[in-house]
Amino acid sequence: MLKHQLIHPKINEILGRAGHHATVLIADGNYPASTKKGPNAELVCLNLSPGIVTVAQVLRAVLSAIPVDHIHTMGIPPDDPYAQKGEPPVWSEYRKIIKESKLKLKLDPILKWDFYAAVESPDHVLTIQTADQALWANVLLKIGCRTG
């Protein structure tokens, strides 16, 4: 029996094989998951129905299972119409989850096109596709080292 909150067998299998510096993308429902991924990445689709499941729900479960060194969001380019609206509301939810997970990490935005490039890295091992309808909800996790 697993003691953490992540019980999806395939996701646990992939995370169990991943090592330090590997990256995991938790993608929103708008992310082009079939074409924007690394050459070593596997895709697990959890997009059941619009809004089910969300990136935040997956983030909470994944953070219960693995050490994480960095959490990147997809940063909004200054020329995007959304850029004038300020930070996406979902980011405050992510900060709350990070705090609840007792992690001392900050969200680190990577501008959209650089975010795609980071995902397409050979270090990318897993994309978890959600059906999250929030805009700019993607997060890219860098796996850390187990210390205990």
Tell me if 69 is assigned to some domain.
yes
Separation between Cα atoms, residue 22 and residue 20, nearest integer Å? 6
Any idea what the CATH number is for the domain that residue 28 is in?
A: 3.40.1650.10
What range defines the domain where residue 131 resides?
9-143
Q: What percent of the chain has pLDDT over 90?
A: 91
Total domains, the chain: 1
Tell me if 17 is assigned to some domain.
yes
Q: What is the pTM of this model?
A: 0.96
**Selected residue with higher pLDDT from 135 and 84:** 135
By the 8 A CB rule, do 35 and 115 touch?
Answer: no
Tell me if 41 is assigned to some domain.
yes
For 65-110, how does the pLDDT look when each residue is reduced to its tens digit (9 = 90+)? Answer: 999 999 999 999 999 988 888 899 999 999 999 999 999 999 999 9
Tell me if 148 is assigned to some domain.
no
Give the pLDDT confidence score for residue 83 in this predicted structure. Answer: 86
